[in-house]
Amino acid sequence: MTETPPVTALADDTAYAEAVQLAVDSSAAYYADGTSTLDDDAYDRLVRGIQAYEEEHPESVLPSSPTGKVAGGAVVGDVPHTVPMLSLDNVFGAEQLADWAAGVERRLGRPVTVWSVEPKLDGLAISARYRHGRLAQLVTRGDGTAGEDVSHAIGTVVGLPERLADAVTVELRGEVMMTTSQFEEACAKRQAHDGTTFANPRSAAAGTLRAQDRPYVCELTFFGYGALPAPGDESDLAVRLRELPHSEVMEWVAAQGVQTTAATPVAGIVAEALDQVQSRVEEIAAARPALPFGIDGIVIKCDLASDQAAAGFSSRAPRWAVAYKLPATEKITKLLDVTWNTGRTGVIAPRAVLEPVELDGSIVTYATLHNVADITRRGLMLGDSVTVYKAGDVIPRVEAPVVHLRTGEERPIPIPEVCPTCGDAIDRSQERWRCVRGRECQAIVSIIYAVGRDTLDIEGLAENRIRQMLATGLIADFADLFFLTREQLLGLERMGQTSTDNLLAAISQAKTRPLSRVFAALGVRGTGRSMSRRIARHFATMDAVRAADAEAIQQVEGIGPEKAPVVVEELAELAPLIDKLVRAGVNMTEPGATPPTDDPKAAEAEGLPLASMSVVVTGTMTGPLAALTRNEVNELIERAGGKSSSSVSAKTSMLVAGEKAGSKRAKAETLGVRIVSPEEFAEQVSAFL
Ligand code: IVH
CATH code, 458-510: 1.10.150.20
CATH code, 79-91+106-325: 3.30.470.30
Closest CA to 269 of 303, 311, 228, 304: 303
Question: Which mutation among 118, 175, 296 tests ligand 1's pocket best, with the greatest number of atoms within 8 A of CB?
Answer: 175
Is there an atom of ligand 1 within 6 Å of 318 CB? yes
- What's the CA gap between 470 and 461, in Å, rounded? 13
Pairwise pLDDT comparison (391 vs 484), residue with the higher score: 484
Q: Looking at mean pLDDT, say which of 12-21, 93-102, 359-368 comes out highest.
A: 93-102
Is there an atom of ligand 1 within 6 Å of 87 CB? yes
Q: Mean of the per-residue pLDDT values for the chain?
A: 90
Is there an atom of ligand 1 within 6 Å of 83 CB? no
> Residue 496 gets which letter from DSSP?
-
Task: Give distance in angstroms: CA of 88 to centre of ligand 1.
Answer: 7
Q: Is the pLDDT of residue 376 over 70?
A: yes
Cα end-to-end span (Å), the chain: 78
264-273, 305-314, 383-392: the lowest-pLDDT one: 383-392
Q: Is the pLDDT of residue 35 over 70?
A: no
CATH superfamily placement of domain 602-689? BRCT domain (3.40.50.10190)
- What's the CA gap between 226 and 175, in Å, rounded? 10
Burial of 673 (0-12, 13-18, 19+ CB in 10 A): buried
Cβ neighbours, 10 Å, residue 364: 21
Q: Is the pLDDT of residue 30 over 80?
A: no
Task: Give distance in angstroms: CA of 166 to centre of ligand 1.
Answer: 25
- What's the CA gap between 644 and 649, in Å, rounded? 13
- What's the CA gap between 296 and 120, in Å, rounded? 6
Q: Is the pLDDT of residue 34 over 80?
A: no
Domains in the chain: boundaries? 13-73, 79-91+106-325, 458-510, 602-689
Is there an atom of ligand 1 within 6 Å of 175 CB? yes
- What's the CA gap between 158 and 601, in Å, rounded? 39
The percent of residues in the chain predicted with pLDDT above 70, rounded, is: 95
* Residue 605: predicted pLDDT: 45
- What's the CA gap between 36 and 66, in Å, rounded? 15
Task: Give distance in angstroms: CA of 640 to centre of ligand 1.
Answer: 45
Is there an atom of ligand 1 within 6 Å of 286 CB? no
Q: Is the pLDDT of residue 24 over 90?
A: no
Alpha helix (H) residue ranges in 524-574? 529-539, 542-547, 550-553, 563-573
Question: Residue range 484-493: average pLDDT?
Answer: 95
Question: What 3-state class would DSSP assign to 481?
Answer: helix
Model pTM greater than 0.75?
Answer: no
* Residue 33: predicted pLDDT: 55
- What's the CA gap between 522 and 477, in Å, rounded? 10
Q: Whose CA is nearest to atom 9 of ligand 1?
A: 120
Q: Whose CA is nearest to atom 15 of ligand 1?
A: 120
DSSP-derived pairing of the beta strands 124-131 and 134-140: antiparallel
Give per-residue pLDDT as tens, 438-451. 888 999 999 999 99
* Residue 2: predicted pLDDT: 40
Q: Whose CA is nearest to atom 13 of ligand 1?
A: 125
Alpha helix (H) residue ranges in 211-312? 236-243, 246-255, 274-287, 305-311
Task: Give distance in angstroms: CA of 125 to centre of ligand 1.
Answer: 7
* Residue 74: predicted pLDDT: 34
| DSSP output for 287-335 | HGGG-SS-EEEEEEEE-SHHHHHHH-B-SSSBSSEEEEEPPP-EEEEEE
Is there an atom of ligand 1 within 6 Å of 225 CB? yes
Catalytic annotation, pick one of 120, 390, 643, 667:
120
Highest CATH level, class, for 13-73: mainly alpha
Stated length of the chain: 689
Task: Give distance in angstroms: CA of 533 to centre of ligand 1.
Answer: 42
Is there an atom of ligand 1 within 6 Å of 173 CB? no
Is there an atom of ligand 1 within 6 Å of 230 CB? no
Question: Residue range 231-256: average pLDDT?
Answer: 96
Task: Give distance in angstroms: CA of 357 to centre of ligand 1.
Answer: 28
Is there an atom of ligand 1 within 6 Å of 121 CB? yes
The percent of residues in the chain predicted with pLDDT above 90, rounded, is: 65
Q: Whose CA is nearest to atom 18 of ligand 1?
A: 120
- Phi, psi (5° rounding) for residue 351? -130, 135
- What's the CA gap between 527 and 560, in Å, rounded? 12
Cβ neighbours, 10 Å, residue 3: 5
Is there an atom of ligand 1 within 6 Å of 590 CB? no
41-45, 239-243, 562-566, 580-584: the lowest-pLDDT one: 41-45
Q: Whose CA is nearest to atom 12 of ligand 1?
A: 120
Q: Whose CA is nearest to atom 3 of ligand 1?
A: 225
Question: Which mutation among 145, 225, 270 tests ligand 1's pocket best, with the greatest number of atoms within 8 A of CB?
Answer: 225
- Note if 325 is an active site residue: no
Question: Residue range 194-211: average pLDDT?
Answer: 87
The model's confidence at residue 604, banded by pLDDT at 50, 70 and 90, is low
Is there an atom of ligand 1 within 6 Å of 258 CB? no
Is there an atom of ligand 1 within 6 Å of 323 CB? yes
The model's confidence at residue 75, banded by pLDDT at 50, 70 and 90, is very low
Q: Is the pLDDT of residue 599 over 60?
A: no
* Residue 265: predicted pLDDT: 93
* Residue 481: predicted pLDDT: 98
* Residue 10: predicted pLDDT: 85
The model's confidence at residue 198, banded by pLDDT at 50, 70 and 90, is confident
According to DSSP, the residues that pair with 351 across neighbouring strands are 339, 368
Cα-atom radius of gyration of the chain, to the nearest Å?
29
The model's confidence at residue 403, banded by pLDDT at 50, 70 and 90, is confident
* Residue 6: predicted pLDDT: 66
Question: Which mutation among 86, 121, 173, 326 tests ligand 1's pocket best, with the greatest number of atoms within 8 A of CB?
Answer: 121
Task: Give distance in angstroms: CA of 85 to centre of ligand 1.
Answer: 9
* Residue 601: predicted pLDDT: 52
DSSP-derived pairing of the beta strands 434-435 and 426-427: antiparallel
